[in-house]
Protein backbone atom coordinates (compact mmCIF):
# COMPACT_ATOMS: atom_id res chain seq x y z
CA UNK A 1 0.00 0.00 0.00
CA UNK A 2 2.92 2.36 0.70
CA UNK A 3 3.28 2.75 -3.07
CA UNK A 4 0.01 4.62 -3.20
CA UNK A 5 1.21 7.01 -0.48
CA UNK A 6 4.05 7.97 -2.83
CA UNK A 7 1.54 8.32 -5.70
CA UNK A 8 -0.43 10.71 -3.50
CA UNK A 9 2.74 12.70 -2.74
CA UNK A 10 3.54 12.83 -6.47
CA UNK A 11 0.08 14.24 -7.23
CA UNK A 12 0.69 16.83 -4.53
CA UNK A 13 4.07 17.75 -6.04
CA UNK A 14 2.33 18.17 -9.40
CA UNK A 15 -0.16 20.58 -7.85
CA UNK A 16 2.75 22.49 -6.29
CA UNK A 17 4.41 22.68 -9.72
CA UNK A 18 1.26 24.22 -11.20
CA UNK A 19 1.04 26.71 -8.33
CA UNK A 20 4.71 27.66 -8.75
CA UNK A 21 4.13 28.23 -12.46
CA UNK A 22 1.11 30.42 -11.65
CA UNK A 23 3.30 32.48 -9.30
CA UNK A 24 6.04 32.83 -11.92
CA UNK A 25 3.45 33.98 -14.43
CA UNK A 26 2.07 36.52 -11.99
CA UNK A 27 5.54 37.92 -11.33
CA UNK A 28 6.98 37.92 -14.84
CA UNK A 29 4.20 38.13 -17.43
CA UNK A 30 2.87 41.56 -18.45
CA UNK A 31 -0.85 42.26 -18.08
CA UNK A 32 -2.41 44.81 -20.40
CA UNK A 33 -5.99 43.70 -20.86
CA UNK A 34 -7.90 45.18 -23.78
CA UNK A 35 -11.28 44.22 -25.19
CA UNK A 36 -9.79 43.32 -28.57
CA UNK A 37 -7.36 40.87 -26.98
CA UNK A 38 -10.13 39.18 -25.05
CA UNK A 39 -12.37 38.49 -28.04
CA UNK A 40 -12.58 34.94 -29.31
CA UNK A 41 -9.97 34.19 -31.96
CA UNK A 42 -11.46 33.49 -35.35
CA UNK A 43 -8.55 34.03 -37.73
CA UNK A 44 -8.67 37.80 -37.38
CA UNK A 45 -12.32 38.48 -38.21
CA UNK A 46 -15.01 39.24 -35.63
CA UNK A 47 -16.53 36.08 -34.12
CA UNK A 48 -19.63 34.90 -35.95
CA UNK A 49 -22.73 33.70 -34.12
CA UNK A 50 -23.54 33.33 -30.45
CA UNK A 51 -22.26 30.71 -28.04
CA UNK A 52 -24.78 28.06 -29.08
CA UNK A 53 -24.44 26.08 -32.27
CA UNK A 54 -25.94 22.82 -33.43
CA UNK A 55 -23.60 20.13 -34.53
CA UNK A 56 -23.93 16.55 -35.59
CA UNK A 57 -21.75 14.21 -33.56
CA UNK A 58 -21.17 11.59 -36.21
CA UNK A 59 -18.85 9.33 -34.35
CA UNK A 60 -21.16 8.27 -31.52
CA UNK A 61 -21.16 4.78 -33.00
CA UNK A 62 -17.44 4.61 -32.25
CA UNK A 63 -18.25 5.54 -28.68
CA UNK A 64 -20.65 2.59 -28.41
CA UNK A 65 -18.07 0.26 -29.93
CA UNK A 66 -15.47 1.60 -27.53
CA UNK A 67 -17.64 0.90 -24.50
CA UNK A 68 -18.28 -2.68 -25.69
CA UNK A 69 -14.60 -3.38 -26.27
CA UNK A 70 -13.45 -1.61 -23.11
CA UNK A 71 -15.70 -3.90 -21.06
CA UNK A 72 -14.16 -6.82 -22.94
CA UNK A 73 -10.67 -5.63 -22.07
CA UNK A 74 -11.58 -5.48 -18.38
CA UNK A 75 -12.15 -9.26 -18.51
CA UNK A 76 -8.82 -9.86 -20.22
CA UNK A 77 -6.71 -8.51 -17.37
CA UNK A 78 -7.88 -10.96 -14.67
CA UNK A 79 -7.48 -13.75 -17.24
CA UNK A 80 -3.78 -12.88 -17.42
CA UNK A 81 -3.32 -13.93 -13.81
CA UNK A 82 -5.13 -17.30 -14.02
CA UNK A 83 -4.13 -18.62 -17.47
CA UNK A 84 -1.15 -20.51 -16.01
CA UNK A 85 -3.38 -22.33 -13.52
CA UNK A 86 -3.20 -26.03 -14.57
CA UNK A 87 -6.93 -26.55 -13.99
CA UNK A 88 -8.20 -23.35 -15.59
CA UNK A 89 -5.66 -22.70 -18.37
CA UNK A 90 -6.99 -24.79 -21.28
CA UNK A 91 -10.66 -24.31 -20.47
CA UNK A 92 -10.24 -20.56 -20.01
CA UNK A 93 -8.48 -20.36 -23.38
CA UNK A 94 -11.47 -21.96 -25.14
CA UNK A 95 -13.90 -19.70 -23.28
CA UNK A 96 -11.85 -16.63 -24.13
CA UNK A 97 -11.67 -17.77 -27.75
CA UNK A 98 -15.48 -17.90 -27.93
CA UNK A 99 -15.67 -14.50 -26.24
CA UNK A 100 -13.24 -12.91 -28.70
CA UNK A 101 -14.97 -14.60 -31.64
CA UNK A 102 -18.30 -13.03 -30.69
CA UNK A 103 -16.62 -9.63 -30.50
CA UNK A 104 -14.92 -10.06 -33.87
CA UNK A 105 -18.23 -11.12 -35.48
CA UNK A 106 -19.77 -7.96 -33.98
CA UNK A 107 -16.98 -5.78 -35.33
CA UNK A 108 -17.23 -7.48 -38.73
CA UNK A 109 -20.98 -6.85 -38.76
CA UNK A 110 -20.44 -3.18 -37.92
CA UNK A 111 -17.87 -2.93 -40.71
CA UNK A 112 -20.18 -4.67 -43.21
CA UNK A 113 -23.02 -2.27 -42.41
CA UNK A 114 -20.67 0.63 -43.11
CA UNK A 115 -20.55 1.91 -39.53
CA UNK A 116 -16.76 2.17 -39.57
CA UNK A 117 -16.89 4.61 -42.44
CA UNK A 118 -16.82 8.25 -41.38
CA UNK A 119 -19.78 9.84 -43.15
CA UNK B 1 8.31 3.94 4.61
CA UNK B 2 9.18 7.13 6.43
CA UNK B 3 7.66 10.50 5.60
CA UNK B 4 11.07 11.75 4.49
CA UNK B 5 11.41 8.90 1.98
CA UNK B 6 7.97 9.68 0.55
CA UNK B 7 8.93 13.35 0.07
CA UNK B 8 12.29 12.46 -1.50
CA UNK B 9 10.67 9.98 -3.90
CA UNK B 10 8.04 12.55 -4.93
CA UNK B 11 10.67 15.25 -5.48
CA UNK B 12 13.00 12.98 -7.47
CA UNK B 13 10.03 11.96 -9.64
CA UNK B 14 9.17 15.62 -10.19
CA UNK B 15 12.76 16.49 -11.18
CA UNK B 16 12.91 13.52 -13.56
CA UNK B 17 9.54 14.55 -14.97
CA UNK B 18 10.85 18.05 -15.69
CA UNK B 19 14.22 16.97 -17.12
CA UNK B 20 13.30 13.99 -19.36
CA UNK B 21 10.73 15.86 -21.53
CA UNK B 22 13.30 18.64 -22.05
CA UNK B 23 15.82 16.07 -23.27
CA UNK B 24 13.20 14.67 -25.66
CA UNK B 25 12.35 18.21 -26.80
CA UNK B 26 16.00 19.03 -27.39
CA UNK B 27 16.43 15.75 -29.28
CA UNK B 28 13.43 16.59 -31.41
CA UNK B 29 14.85 20.00 -32.31
CA UNK B 30 18.16 18.55 -33.39
CA UNK B 31 16.91 15.36 -35.07
CA UNK B 32 14.34 17.31 -37.07
CA UNK B 33 16.89 19.99 -37.93
CA UNK B 34 19.27 17.38 -39.31
CA UNK B 35 16.62 15.37 -41.14
CA UNK B 36 14.98 18.36 -42.77
CA UNK B 37 18.06 20.55 -43.21
CA UNK B 38 16.57 23.27 -40.98
CA UNK B 39 18.90 26.11 -40.03
CA UNK B 40 16.79 27.87 -37.39
CA UNK B 41 17.11 25.44 -34.47
CA UNK B 42 20.89 25.12 -35.02
CA UNK B 43 21.73 28.78 -34.46
CA UNK B 44 20.95 29.99 -30.93
CA UNK B 45 23.87 29.85 -28.48
CA UNK B 46 26.53 28.62 -30.87
CA UNK B 47 27.24 24.89 -30.73
CA UNK B 48 24.32 23.05 -32.38
CA UNK B 49 21.90 25.70 -31.15
CA UNK B 50 21.92 24.36 -27.59
CA UNK B 51 20.24 27.49 -26.21
CA UNK B 52 17.12 27.30 -28.38
CA UNK B 53 15.06 25.50 -25.74
CA UNK B 54 16.18 27.93 -23.02
CA UNK B 55 15.17 30.85 -25.23
CA UNK B 56 11.78 29.24 -25.84
CA UNK B 57 11.28 28.85 -22.09
CA UNK B 58 12.17 32.47 -21.39
CA UNK B 59 9.80 33.56 -24.14
CA UNK B 60 6.91 31.52 -22.76
CA UNK B 61 7.32 32.96 -19.26
CA UNK B 62 7.26 36.53 -20.55
CA UNK B 63 4.16 36.16 -22.72
CA UNK B 64 0.99 37.84 -21.54
CA UNK B 65 -1.60 35.50 -20.10
CA UNK B 66 -4.89 36.16 -21.90
CA UNK B 67 -8.19 34.59 -20.85
CA UNK B 68 -10.83 35.22 -23.53
CA UNK B 69 -13.93 37.10 -22.38
CA UNK B 70 -16.20 34.30 -23.55
CA UNK B 71 -14.20 31.55 -21.83
CA UNK B 72 -15.34 29.54 -18.85
CA UNK B 73 -12.58 31.00 -16.69
CA UNK B 74 -12.01 28.32 -14.09
CA UNK B 75 -12.20 25.37 -16.42
CA UNK B 76 -9.99 27.24 -18.90
CA UNK B 77 -7.35 27.83 -16.27
CA UNK B 78 -7.50 24.36 -14.76
CA UNK B 79 -7.19 22.53 -18.10
CA UNK B 80 -3.37 22.69 -18.52
CA UNK B 81 -2.87 21.19 -15.06
CA UNK B 82 -5.34 18.39 -15.81
CA UNK B 83 -3.46 17.66 -19.03
CA UNK B 84 -0.06 17.60 -17.34
CA UNK B 85 -0.40 15.95 -13.93
CA UNK B 86 -1.61 12.50 -15.15
CA UNK B 87 1.69 11.97 -16.99
CA UNK B 88 3.58 12.89 -13.82
CA UNK B 89 1.61 10.24 -11.95
CA UNK B 90 2.15 7.70 -14.73
CA UNK B 91 5.90 8.25 -14.79
CA UNK B 92 6.27 7.59 -11.05
CA UNK B 93 5.16 3.94 -11.30
CA UNK B 94 7.31 2.96 -14.31
CA UNK B 95 10.39 1.07 -13.10
CA UNK B 96 13.72 2.26 -14.51
CA UNK B 97 15.89 -0.39 -12.86
CA UNK B 98 15.46 -3.53 -10.73
CA UNK B 99 15.13 -1.39 -7.61
CA UNK B 100 14.63 2.05 -9.13
CA UNK B 101 10.98 3.05 -9.22
CA UNK B 102 9.13 6.06 -7.87
CA UNK B 103 6.23 4.16 -6.38
CA UNK B 104 5.74 0.38 -6.10
CA UNK B 105 2.22 -0.32 -7.39
CA UNK B 106 0.94 -3.89 -7.81
CA UNK B 107 -1.01 -3.61 -11.09
CA UNK B 108 1.37 -1.09 -12.66
CA UNK B 109 0.45 -1.89 -16.28
CA UNK B 110 -3.22 -1.21 -15.64
CA UNK B 111 -2.38 1.86 -13.56
CA UNK B 112 -0.33 3.53 -16.31
CA UNK B 113 -3.00 2.90 -18.96
CA UNK B 114 -5.72 4.23 -16.65
CA UNK B 115 -3.83 7.35 -15.60
CA UNK B 116 -2.53 8.23 -19.07
CA UNK B 117 -6.13 8.22 -20.32
CA UNK B 118 -7.04 11.01 -17.88
CA UNK B 119 -4.84 13.53 -19.70
CA UNK B 120 -7.36 13.79 -22.54
CA UNK B 121 -9.79 15.40 -20.08
CA UNK B 122 -7.46 18.42 -20.01
CA UNK B 123 -7.76 18.77 -23.79
CA UNK B 124 -11.54 18.37 -23.64
CA UNK B 125 -11.79 20.96 -20.86
CA UNK B 126 -9.55 23.34 -22.83
CA UNK B 127 -11.60 22.92 -25.99
CA UNK B 128 -14.94 23.38 -24.30
CA UNK B 129 -13.96 26.21 -21.96
CA UNK B 130 -12.26 28.29 -24.67
CA UNK B 131 -15.68 29.00 -26.25
CA UNK B 132 -13.92 28.96 -29.61
CA UNK B 133 -15.10 26.97 -32.63
CA UNK B 134 -11.63 25.77 -33.58
CA UNK B 135 -10.99 24.69 -30.00
CA UNK B 136 -14.24 22.76 -29.77
CA UNK B 137 -13.61 20.97 -33.06
CA UNK B 138 -10.08 20.13 -31.98
CA UNK B 139 -11.24 18.79 -28.62
CA UNK B 140 -13.94 16.68 -30.28
CA UNK B 141 -11.37 15.22 -32.64
CA UNK B 142 -9.06 14.47 -29.73
CA UNK B 143 -11.86 12.69 -27.91
CA UNK B 144 -12.80 10.66 -30.99
CA UNK B 145 -9.17 9.77 -31.49
CA UNK B 146 -8.73 8.65 -27.91
CA UNK B 147 -11.90 6.52 -28.11
CA UNK B 148 -10.52 4.66 -31.11
CA UNK B 149 -6.89 4.34 -30.14
CA UNK B 150 -7.20 3.55 -26.44
CA UNK B 151 -8.41 0.06 -27.37
CA UNK B 152 -5.32 -1.18 -29.28
CA UNK B 153 -3.22 0.08 -26.36
CA UNK B 154 -5.32 -1.71 -23.75
CA UNK B 155 -5.44 -4.92 -25.79
CA UNK B 156 -1.71 -5.06 -26.44
CA UNK B 157 -0.97 -4.31 -22.78
CA UNK B 158 -3.35 -7.16 -21.89
CA UNK B 159 -1.42 -9.40 -24.28
CA UNK B 160 1.89 -8.62 -22.57
CA UNK B 161 0.27 -9.16 -19.16
CA UNK B 162 -0.92 -12.56 -20.39
CA UNK B 163 2.53 -13.48 -21.64
CA UNK B 164 4.10 -12.51 -18.32
CA UNK B 165 1.26 -13.79 -16.12
CA UNK B 166 1.37 -10.63 -14.03
CA UNK B 167 0.20 -7.03 -14.19
CA UNK B 168 3.18 -5.67 -12.24
CA UNK B 169 5.62 -3.78 -14.48
CA UNK B 170 8.62 -5.12 -12.58
CA UNK B 171 7.22 -8.65 -12.92
CA UNK B 172 6.74 -8.18 -16.67
CA UNK B 173 10.40 -7.18 -17.13
CA UNK B 174 11.42 -10.15 -14.99
CA UNK B 175 9.47 -12.57 -17.23
CA UNK B 176 10.63 -10.97 -20.49
CA UNK B 177 12.74 -13.02 -22.86
CA UNK B 178 14.24 -11.99 -26.23
CA UNK B 179 11.87 -14.10 -28.29
CA UNK B 180 9.02 -11.83 -27.10
CA UNK B 181 10.39 -9.44 -29.72
CA UNK B 182 8.91 -11.78 -32.33
CA UNK B 183 5.99 -13.24 -30.35
CA UNK B 184 4.67 -9.84 -29.25
CA UNK B 185 5.59 -8.00 -32.46
CA UNK B 186 2.03 -7.40 -33.75
CA UNK B 187 1.04 -6.06 -30.32
CA UNK B 188 4.14 -3.87 -30.17
CA UNK B 189 3.38 -2.33 -33.58
CA UNK B 190 -0.24 -1.71 -32.53
CA UNK B 191 0.89 -0.18 -29.26
CA UNK B 192 3.39 2.20 -30.84
CA UNK B 193 0.95 3.32 -33.54
CA UNK B 194 -1.83 3.85 -31.02
CA UNK B 195 0.53 5.63 -28.63
CA UNK B 196 1.44 8.09 -31.39
CA UNK B 197 -2.26 8.69 -31.96
CA UNK B 198 -2.99 9.13 -28.28
CA UNK B 199 -0.19 11.68 -28.02
CA UNK B 200 -1.60 13.43 -31.10
CA UNK B 201 1.78 13.28 -32.74
CA UNK B 202 2.12 13.36 -36.51
CA UNK B 203 0.88 11.52 -38.58
CA UNK B 204 -2.06 11.50 -36.15
CA UNK B 205 -2.14 15.23 -35.34
CA UNK B 206 -5.52 15.96 -36.89
CA UNK B 207 -6.85 17.42 -33.60
CA UNK B 208 -4.23 20.20 -33.77
CA UNK B 209 -4.04 20.48 -37.56
CA UNK B 210 -2.80 24.05 -37.89
CA UNK B 211 -3.80 24.44 -41.53
CA UNK B 212 -7.49 23.96 -40.81
CA UNK B 213 -8.29 24.48 -37.13
CA UNK B 214 -5.40 26.74 -36.05
CA UNK B 215 -4.13 24.77 -33.02
CA UNK B 216 -7.21 22.80 -32.02
CA UNK B 217 -8.05 22.91 -28.34
CA UNK B 218 -5.00 25.06 -27.52
CA UNK B 219 -5.88 27.93 -29.88
CA UNK B 220 -6.79 30.42 -27.14
CA UNK B 221 -3.88 29.61 -24.82
CA UNK B 222 -0.83 31.83 -24.35
CA UNK B 223 2.35 31.92 -22.32
CA UNK B 224 2.97 29.40 -19.57
CA UNK B 225 -0.44 27.75 -19.86
CA UNK B 226 0.32 26.96 -23.48
CA UNK B 227 3.81 25.79 -22.49
CA UNK B 228 2.16 23.37 -20.06
CA UNK B 229 0.26 21.73 -22.90
CA UNK B 230 3.51 21.42 -24.85
CA UNK B 231 5.25 19.99 -21.79
CA UNK B 232 2.37 17.52 -21.45
CA UNK B 233 2.97 16.39 -25.04
CA UNK B 234 6.66 15.75 -24.44
CA UNK B 235 6.00 14.18 -21.05
CA UNK B 236 3.55 11.94 -22.90
CA UNK B 237 6.31 10.90 -25.29
CA UNK B 238 8.53 10.07 -22.30
CA UNK B 239 5.80 8.04 -20.59
CA UNK B 240 4.86 6.12 -23.73
CA UNK B 241 8.51 5.44 -24.68
CA UNK B 242 9.39 4.14 -21.23
CA UNK B 243 6.15 2.15 -21.03
CA UNK B 244 6.89 0.61 -24.43
CA UNK B 245 10.43 -0.18 -23.29
CA UNK B 246 9.21 -1.91 -20.14
CA UNK B 247 6.47 -3.89 -21.92
CA UNK B 248 8.13 -4.93 -25.16
CA UNK B 249 11.89 -4.30 -24.98
CA UNK B 250 12.68 -5.84 -21.63
CA UNK B 251 13.18 -2.62 -19.67
CA UNK B 252 16.40 -2.79 -17.70
CA UNK B 253 17.47 -6.19 -19.09
CA UNK B 254 20.93 -6.15 -20.63
CA UNK B 255 24.57 -6.74 -19.69
CA UNK B 256 25.29 -5.80 -16.04
CA UNK B 257 21.57 -5.17 -15.45
CA UNK B 258 22.10 -4.93 -11.68
CA UNK B 259 24.41 -1.94 -11.97
CA UNK B 260 23.48 -0.47 -15.36
CA UNK B 261 19.74 -1.26 -15.40
CA UNK B 262 18.67 2.38 -15.33
CA UNK B 263 21.00 3.22 -18.21
CA UNK B 264 19.53 0.42 -20.34
CA UNK B 265 15.96 1.53 -19.69
CA UNK B 266 16.73 5.15 -20.50
CA UNK B 267 18.73 4.25 -23.62
CA UNK B 268 15.98 2.00 -24.99
CA UNK B 269 13.40 4.65 -24.08
CA UNK B 270 15.39 7.33 -25.90
CA UNK B 271 15.57 5.08 -28.95
CA UNK B 272 11.78 4.71 -28.96
CA UNK B 273 11.42 8.48 -28.51
CA UNK B 274 13.65 9.08 -31.52
CA UNK B 275 11.45 6.73 -33.57
CA UNK B 276 8.40 8.76 -32.45
CA UNK B 277 10.17 11.96 -33.55
CA UNK B 278 11.18 10.32 -36.82
CA UNK B 279 7.51 9.61 -37.59
CA UNK B 280 6.83 13.32 -37.37
CA UNK B 281 9.50 14.08 -39.94
CA UNK B 282 8.72 11.24 -42.31
CA UNK B 283 4.92 11.01 -42.55
CA UNK B 284 2.22 13.41 -43.75
CA UNK B 285 -0.88 14.01 -41.64
CA UNK B 286 -3.72 11.54 -41.99
CA UNK B 287 -7.27 12.63 -42.72
CA UNK B 288 -9.76 12.31 -39.86
CA UNK B 289 -11.79 9.49 -41.45
CA UNK B 290 -8.70 7.53 -42.52
CA UNK B 291 -7.47 7.87 -38.98
CA UNK B 292 -10.61 6.32 -37.46
CA UNK B 293 -10.67 3.57 -40.06
CA UNK B 294 -7.06 2.63 -39.40
CA UNK B 295 -7.87 2.06 -35.73
CA UNK B 296 -11.01 -0.03 -36.18
CA UNK B 297 -10.25 -1.92 -39.37
CA UNK B 298 -6.57 -2.67 -38.72
CA UNK B 299 -5.32 -2.04 -35.20
CA UNK B 300 -8.20 -3.50 -33.14
CA UNK B 301 -8.37 -6.78 -35.11
CA UNK B 302 -4.55 -7.11 -35.05
CA UNK B 303 -4.50 -6.48 -31.30
CA UNK B 304 -7.27 -9.05 -30.78
CA UNK B 305 -5.29 -11.53 -32.89
CA UNK B 306 -2.25 -10.81 -30.70
CA UNK B 307 -4.28 -11.56 -27.56
CA UNK B 308 -5.38 -14.90 -29.05
CA UNK B 309 -1.83 -15.70 -30.18
CA UNK B 310 -0.46 -14.94 -26.71
CA UNK B 311 -3.15 -17.01 -25.01
CA UNK B 312 -2.47 -20.04 -27.23
CA UNK B 313 1.29 -19.60 -26.83
CA UNK B 314 1.08 -19.52 -23.05
CA UNK B 315 -1.19 -22.58 -22.80
CA UNK B 316 0.83 -24.62 -25.32
CA UNK B 317 4.17 -23.90 -23.68
CA UNK B 318 2.92 -24.46 -20.15
Q: Do B219 and A28 touch (CB under 8 A)?
A: no
Nearest Cα residue to B266 out of B29, B16, B26: B16
- Closest by Cβ to B13, choosing from A10, A62, A81: A10
Structure ipTM: 0.83
B288 in reach of chain A (CB within 8 A) = yes
Residues in A touching B80 (Cβ below 8 Å): 18
* pLDDT class of B282 with cuts at 50, 70, 90: confident
Quick check: is B8 in a domain?
Answer: no
Quick check: is A101 in a domain?
Answer: yes
Q: Do B165 and A84 touch (CB under 8 A)?
A: yes
Domain that holds residue B82: 66-317
Quick check: is A92 in a domain?
Answer: yes
Residues in B touching A17 (Cβ below 8 Å): 14, 18, 84, 88
Residue A119 has pLDDT above 60, yes or no: no
Quick check: is A41 in a domain?
Answer: no
Q: Tell me the per-residue pLDDT of A62-103, one tens digit each, with 9 for 90 and over.
A: 788 888 888 878 888 888 888 777 777 778 888 888 888 888
Domain that holds residue A83: 60-112
Using CA atoms, how far apart are residues B18 and B20, in angstroms rounded to an integer? 6
Residue A1 has pLDDT above 70, yes or no: no
Quick check: is A9 in a domain?
Answer: no
Quick check: is B239 in a domain?
Answer: yes
Using CA atoms, how far apart are residues B200 and A102, in angstroms rounded to an integer? 31
Give me the number of domains chain A comprises: 1
Nearest Cα residue to B154 out of B290, B297, B304, B272: B304
Using CA atoms, how far apart are residues B17 and A38, in angstroms rounded to an integer? 33
* pLDDT class of B42 with cuts at 50, 70, 90: confident
Q: Tell me the per-residue pLDDT of B147-169, one tens digit each, with 9 for 90 and over.
A: 888 889 988 998 998 888 888 88
Residue B205 has pLDDT above 60, yes or no: yes
Quick check: is A93 in a domain?
Answer: yes
Residue A113 to residues A57, A117, B49, B151, B299, Cα–Cα distance (Å): 19, 9, 54, 21, 19
Quick check: is A25 in a domain?
Answer: no
Least confident of A73-77, B39-43, B109-113, B312-316: B39-43
Quick check: is B248 in a domain?
Answer: yes
Q: Do B162 and A79 touch (CB under 8 A)?
A: yes
Give me the number of domains chain B comprises: 1
Quick check: is B272 in a domain?
Answer: yes
Q: Do A118 and B288 touch (CB under 8 A)?
A: yes
Q: Tell me the per-residue pLDDT of B79-115, one tens digit each, with 9 for 90 and over.
A: 999 989 999 999 988 988 887 777 888 888 889 988 9
Quick check: is A69 in a domain?
Answer: yes
Residue A36's pLDDT is what?
79
The mean pLDDT of B131-153, rounded to a whole number, is 85
Amino acid sequence: MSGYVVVGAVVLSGILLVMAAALARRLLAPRVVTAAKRTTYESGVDPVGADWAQTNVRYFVYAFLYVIFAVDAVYLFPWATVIRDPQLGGASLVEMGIFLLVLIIGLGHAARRGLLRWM
Amino acid sequence: MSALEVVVRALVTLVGFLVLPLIVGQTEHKVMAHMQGRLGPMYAGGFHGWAQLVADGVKFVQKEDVTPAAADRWVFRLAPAVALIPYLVAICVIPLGPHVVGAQVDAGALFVVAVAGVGILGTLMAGWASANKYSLLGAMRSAAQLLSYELPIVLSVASVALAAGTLSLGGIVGQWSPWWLLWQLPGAVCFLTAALAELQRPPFDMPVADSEIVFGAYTEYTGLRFAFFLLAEYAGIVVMSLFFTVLFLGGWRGPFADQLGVVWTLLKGLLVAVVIIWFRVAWPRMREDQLQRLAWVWLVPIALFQVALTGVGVVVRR
